[in-house]
Structure 1
Amino acid sequence: MRFRTALAALLLTGTTLIGSPAAAAAPVTIAYAQRTQAWQLVLTNGEVVEVPEALAKAPKDAVNAGVRAPFLVSGDGKHFLYFRKSDGLFVERTLNGKEKVVSRRLTAYTIDEEWPMVSDDGSYVVTSTSAPGVGIFADLRTGKVLPPPGHTDAWSFLGFSSDGKRLLLADDERLTVFDRGLRARMRLKTRLAPMALANDYITAATPVGTWPKYRKLRLLNLRTGRAKGTVTVQLPRGRYIDDLDFDQAGRVIVRSKTGTGVVIYRVSTATGKATLLRTIARPDAEAWVLPGDNPYEPWTERKSKASQE
């Protein structure tokens, strides 16, 4: 559930900023990925890069043959991850880099049974499973795949901190903040289920209401266990909190699906005021992925699962 500033040099209203001095000086990153017949990367300079080696659908021998294969872009817009056609392994790449296998345990056979999520810096992958529970914890910087904390998969993965240095997991009514080596740094017993962790590793944000029509949120202090009062986010009628996050400065960011794409707001946790940051128009593609998306956000497919319910 990560969305950062990879689009800042590209889209404010759906128009590419080609030729402006500011855009020319900015480093080129991935604005989004899209899939027509095959996966493509659309860069912040308007260039389109084909990724023909990425699976579009789960193969015939997979548990869920024919379903959409996950394709991820890290929140910083520098890394992309996919199941490759040659052997079905899940790999990570940068625009100018070589493929790096995340884990040989994560294969196309388990597509739609195991869901990968990547930190904003593209260097850590966690999977949730249909068990339910967690699967792998892969630190791409060290090349290590770590066993689940406590050697049990009975955890729910709630998210990374914005800087990718901490992981927030839940076990029944217990929240635990882990570092990248899966050493516990903080524990709290609570019934709340946060969706985001700030870079102070103490402040968490949780939506309030009934899924998927969240319009309220509250903050939780993981050190003291105190939760602030519920705040109603001042979204336009018919829009909801589809994704919740913190930016690098600790401000709450909300993404909301629209009929034509996604809008991103910065939200005051004191008043609920929602300040529009940008509007992103959906491309004419079968599926699309924004930097920081989980495998199946409400807007990723032309007709999402959420819209069909």
Structure 2
Amino acid sequence: MAALLLAGTTLIGSPAAAAAAPVTIAYAQRTQTWQLVLTNGDVVEVPEALAKAPKNAVTPGERAPFLVSGDGKHFFYFRKSDGLFVERTLNGKERVVSRRLTAYTIYEEWPAVSDDGSYVVTTTSAPGVGIFADLRKGKVLPPPGHTDAWSFMGFSSDGKRLLLAEDERLTVFDRGLRARTRLKTRLAPTALANDYVTAAVPVGTWLKSRKLRLVNLRTGRASGTVTVQLPRGQYIDDLDFDKAGRVIVRSKTGTGVAFYRVSAATGKATLLRTIARPDAEVWVLPGDSPYEAWTERKGRA
């Protein structure tokens, strides 16, 4: 199937093809340029998206992040014309996320996007946080407490809350960066449920974890550790909650990625779906962070 060209403000192709285009993105892939693969199988080229950091960047030649929101409706990239990080929908105009976030900082600053595509947070190599951009309001907010010493742990699955850590303190913030819940703990959760209280914590060596536990961010009470019953050779590569508050695990397989619903009580893993890896150098699923375990054909050294 021939690729459509995404440029300017609308899809360029036949009127029938544009009218039939679905509203969601199945995944993005990079061959010579970045492309969107839609849920109906159409391929849409994004010629304005940088593939690699430019020569004047901190890390020239490194892969340029390309993100798709968890709902599959928004995509984000560093554009070639000026290196700014922008947001798009399939039939929408580019919106600059923040003029402080440029291609110069690729691989020194990592953007994370809420599931609804309306909020962007960056973490940095400092370590710490960079920007908090609320795209609905068109505002870039200063870090809470005017310090960048926070570690960003993740969004709630509805995108209305942000989980940040500072030393041994976890704080749940709303989108205006007002603190809602605080807890002192040594646990490091990476996912927040829509009750804004329940968080999931991977247990074990990073990228080799098969265990998790839950923690109540209001009381500090943690569940026992459970082993997720994944197939041999698979691990917890990404941990999240669905809208109903059930734990979701994504795990790299030999042919792509598998999605599981996991019982936090027993560790039983129910396979929801699998996605086969396309024949592309890099691919990105909705909800991915910039550098997931499955994004490149070969793992980074």
Q: Does 1:189 align with 2:171?
A: no
| Cα RMSD (Å) | 1.3
Partner SS, residue 158 of structure 1: strand
Which one has more relative contact order, counting CA pairs under 8 Å at least 6 apart? 1
User: Which residue number in structure 2 is paired with residue 172 of structure 1?
Assistant: 167
Whole-Å Cα distance in 1 between the matches of residues 282 and 21 of structure 2?
Answer: 27
Where structure 1 has 5 or more consecutive residues not aligned to the other structure, the ranges are 1-24
Equivalent in the alignment of 1:135: 130
Residue correspondence of structure 1 range 108-123 to structure 2 within 5 A? 108-123=103-118
- Once residues 210 and 39 of structure 1 are traced to their aligned partners in structure 2, the CA distance between those partners, rounded to angstroms, is 32
Please tell me whether residue 41 in structure 1 is matched to residue 36 in structure 2.
Answer: yes
Deviation, 1:304, is 1.9
* 2:41 paired with 1:31: no
1:239 equivalenced with 2:234 (yes/no): yes
Give the alignment partner of residue 54 of structure 1, picking from 49, 53, 56: 49
Asked if the contact 1:60/1:66 (under 8 Å) is kept, the reply is yes
Q: Does 1:229 find its partner at 2:224?
A: yes
Q: Deviations over 1:141-192 (max 9, x none)?
A: 0000001000000010000000000000000000000000000000000000
User: For the Cα contact (< 8 Å) 1:199–1:250, is it kept in 2?
Assistant: yes
User: Which of 285, 291, 298 is matched with 2:286 structurally?
Assistant: 291
**Deviation for aligned residue 1:28:** 3.1
Q: SS of 2:177's equivalent?
A: coil
Partner of 1:265: 260
- Give, in angstroms, the shift of residue 217 of structure 1: 0.3
Any stretches of 5+ residues in structure 2 without a counterpart? 1-19
Percent identity among equivalent residues? 88
Question: Taking structure 1 as the reference length, what is the TM-score of the superposition?
Answer: 0.90
Query: Number of residue pairs matched?
Result: 283
> Do residues 81 (structure 1) and 94 (structure 2) align?
no
Q: Secondary structure at the match of 1:109?
A: helix
Aligned to 2:65: 70
8 Å contact from structure 2 (residues 118, 136) kept in 1: yes
For the 8 Å contact 1:166–1:179, the answer to whether it is kept is: yes
How many angstroms does 1:286 deviate by?
0.6
> Is the contact made by 1:115 and 1:127 (CA closer than 8 Å) also made in structure 2?
yes
The one-letter code of the counterpart of 2:103 is A
- In the alignment, structure 1 residue 146 sits paired with structure 2 residue 141: yes
